[in-house]
Amino acid sequence: MSERKRRIEYGDWQTPVDLAMLVCNRLKAIGVNPDAIVEPTCGIGAFVIAASRSFTDAKTIRGFEINADYLTDLQAKVVEEPNAQRISLHVDDFFVKDWKACIDELPGELLVIGNPPWVTSAGLGAIGGTNHPCKSNFQAHSGFDAMTGKANFDISEYMMLEMLRWFRGRNGTLALLCKTAVARKVLAHAKRQHAAIVDPFLAVINTKKYFNAAVESCLLVMRFSAEAERHQYDYVVYDDLEALTGSRVGHRAGLLVRDVVAFDRSAQYVGTSPQKWRSGAKHDAAAIMEFERRDGRYLNGLGEAMELEPDFMYPLMKGSDVANGDRAWRERFMLVTQRTIGEQTDGIRQQAPLTWAYLEGKRTELDARSSRIYQNGPSFAVFGVGGYAFRPWRIAICGLYKTLRFRLVGPIEDKPVMFDDTVYYISFNTEAEARAVLERITTPEALRLYDSLIFWDEKRPIKTSVLNLLDWSRSEQPSLLFA
């Protein structure tokens, strides 16, 4: 196995000792004083060493790691630590170990600490990795979500949910470094499971400094108390490990809210969008289905210049085009083979024979698309089409950008504009309708509500689940909607 593949498969970004010490110092400052400490993926042992030095009253410290070479090196370090007899190291595979038996035999208050792998299940699949749990849709996604990628998950998320079970009926603390998005998911799972947590918090980590990685990360701390009269699922986010004040993230009306103060000011406008926000068309074959027009011919992503009928060619705006509101249309097109999901495509043969011949020439590539949404469907099918996709006017926003920048988009060359699937939009029959709604959804109150619900550190911060929460139909007069 190459070094790069091994590092990816095992999430092998080792924690620096100085960061591990900062984590332990923060835990001590909030009163954590465990009897037993477990590091379930200890690697080269930064947390084992830091915990041994910080929690001198702990009776036992156990480190587990799949890489035996790491433990050999760590054992040489451990023998030099004071009270080294408390520390035991074990070669174990997290995904097959009987953790319940291991945890049940540990005394008193428990601290589980560490830095589980940050790789995703899709990332492992891409390199043929096997260091993962048995495949299952453990997040219980269904239908289209499961088919199109939402069933992809971070391996650390799976591990952390297993660790939550270790605290059923016992007191202790879970303190883990992880992606910030994963921390939020785990806290949401804890709430759904009614876990006995109190005073949870996140402390932001400088990922670039400590791991040379470009991802938002944090220390997630969850304390468990079986005796607590009231469990807490709101949490504080601190800017760093030493900060004493932070912002509160909470749950309101069944929603996870990034800024509870801003949300409370606009909560009366939470409802259901009168029109469902949709994502742009999905075809999973950009090199074949997307074109630039040059000298009257269509140039696909493979560099092939084609003569095609205009019947099924629609103006295309990518997410970057939508986000940059001043950018002119760049004469891009999308080949859209259907107007509704499941519609047969055979009619293209008679209506546009050049287009049909082009598609037939690309049949092998199009039939090889892996997503289940194309299986057992018509030839050359696309997804994300319906009556809404062919109305001439639309309000659009790109989900990838970290700003609430809505754009009014009208027809081009007498055809409705298509978007890629990074764009969300609602559509209208007239410009007047579209402008009226645009005014409603861009008032300060509406933008404040949206902003309070968006976690801007995520890869795709703007989601349809957020956009669909604003009810902009409450008044015929836009100026009265937020009066």
Question: Could you give the domains of the chain?
Answer: 3-252 (3.40.50.150), 278-480 (no CATH)
Euclidean distance between CA atoms 50 and 64, whole angstroms: 15
Q: Tell me the Cα Rg of the chain.
A: 27
Burial status of residue 223 (CB atoms within 10 A of its CB: 0-12, 13-18, 19 or more) = buried
Predicted TM-score (pTM) above 0.75: no
Euclidean distance between CA atoms 483 and 481, whole angstroms: 6
In this predicted structure, the answer to whether residue 152 has a pLDDT above a threshold of 90 is no
The mean-pLDDT minimum among 114-128, 274-288, 365-379 falls in: 114-128
pLDDT of the residue at 325: 80
pLDDT of the residue at 121: 52
* Beta-strand relationship, 297-300 and 278-279: unpaired
Confidence of residue 328 (pLDDT cuts 50, 70, 90): confident
Per-residue DSSP letter, 346: T
Within 33-83, strands assigned E span 36-39, 60-65
In this predicted structure, the answer to whether residue 242 has a pLDDT above a threshold of 50 is yes
Mean pLDDT of 167-176: 95
* Cα torsion angle, 370, 373, 379, 380, sign: negative
H/E stretch holding 208 = helix 207-211
For the beta carbon of residue 135, count every other beta carbon within 10 angstroms.
9
> What are the b/e assignments for 57-88, b being 16+ CB within 10 Å?
ebebbbbbbbbeebbeebeeebeeeeeeebbe
Question: Strands across the sheet with 423-428, in order?
Answer: 278-279, 423-428, 393-398, 407-409
- Give which of 176, 163, 173, 154 is closest to 19, Cα–Cα: 176
Tell me the DSSP string of 472-483. Answer: --S-SSGGGTT-
pLDDT of the residue at 459: 86
Spatial CB neighbours of 124, under 8 Å, sequence gap ≥ 6: 8, 9, 130, 131, 132, 155
Residue with tokens 């402008």, as numbered in its chain:
435
* Beta-strand relationship, 297-300 and 305-306: antiparallel
Q: What is the pLDDT of residues 339-394, one digit of tens each?
A: 999 999 999 999 999 999 999 999 999 999 988 888 888 999 999 999 999 999 99
Q: Is 423 helix (H, G, I), strand (E, B) or coil?
A: strand
Euclidean distance between CA atoms 55 and 36, whole angstroms: 10
Percentage above 70 pLDDT, the chain: 88
Q: Which amino acid is at 174?
A: L
State phi, psi for 70 to the nearest 5 degrees.
-60, -45
pLDDT of the residue at 252: 84
Euclidean distance between CA atoms 415 and 143, whole angstroms: 32
Better-predicted residue by pLDDT, 227 or 99: 99
Q: Is 41 helix (H, G, I), strand (E, B) or coil?
A: coil
pLDDT of the residue at 475: 45
The mean-pLDDT minimum among 33-37, 62-66, 82-86, 218-222 falls in: 82-86
Tell me the DSSP string of 425-437. Answer: EEEESSHHHHHHH
Euclidean distance between CA atoms 193 and 188, whole angstroms: 9
Euclidean distance between CA atoms 130 and 408, whole angstroms: 47
Confidence of residue 481 (pLDDT cuts 50, 70, 90): very low
* Beta-strand relationship, 36-39 and 290-294: unpaired
Residue 393: both structure tokens together: 């006017």
Better-predicted residue by pLDDT, 341 or 1: 341
Spatial CB neighbours of 54, under 8 Å, sequence gap ≥ 6: 21, 24, 25, 27, 28
pLDDT of the residue at 397: 97
Per-residue DSSP letter, 15: P
Question: Mean pLDDT of all residues in the chain?
Answer: 88
Q: What is the pLDDT of residues 5-38, one digit of tens each?
A: 444 444 456 899 999 999 999 999 999 999 999 9
Euclidean distance between CA atoms 300 and 174, whole angstroms: 52
Residue 41: both structure tokens together: 């993926």
Per-residue DSSP letter, 452: H
Better-predicted residue by pLDDT, 121 or 248: 248
